[in-house]
Structure 1
């Protein structure tokens, strides 16, 4: 398979995914009925449209990532794998240390408008961990390419 055919196939896949996501967006905006069988402990039920749109977006992102990864060359794949392993892990460790130090020092981690509940603290911890991994990944990815130029 030559490069032109490979690029055309990837573009066709992405075009089909985009049309599918647009269709899900229209359906999601139109379906306003609440989700049936929603547990009361979780609060108000989201609309069926929101659930359909979220599921469609998850599938779209998974397929998009698959086609994107398949079309990368070996050097780019190696840069991403190396950066995610080293940068993501080191970023997570450093971010966790900073988050833990701030929490133990009594720093108010959550902004004032957010209610200080267990769920909000868990969400803040998740976001902090992901952000630390993403920053570490970005630094490591740039470092990998700079070292090989």
Structure 2
């Protein structure tokens, strides 16, 4: 893989008060992407939503309410793609078994992964030695 044009790594405690910060980082990156010919405002909104949802899921579902745990968010901007990785230390889950939300009877939660998958080009979730990685790719056209 080539060297990124921009790399941002953030490590936060497993507390939701940092979600706004993570979303804002995504927005700022989207607005500064050189050579992007698409709708910057739409990309900024999408990255805010995706980063906030991915981080919230890591905090809520993967960290066992242990405030000693952290969530790491790594964003690499390449000339043609944005690679996002969200690392957590929880039990993990099987991405392929997450159901599509019931839009006829919407729930208060459970839409995050649907939005992430809908807005991004590639989403994978893997277990490493003692942590999990949600990897998200958005191709920049």
TM-score, normalization by structure 1: 0.28
Which structure features the higher share of strand residues? 2
Which structure features the higher share of helix residues? 1
Tell which has more relative contact order, 1 or 2 (C-alpha 8 A, sep 6+): 2
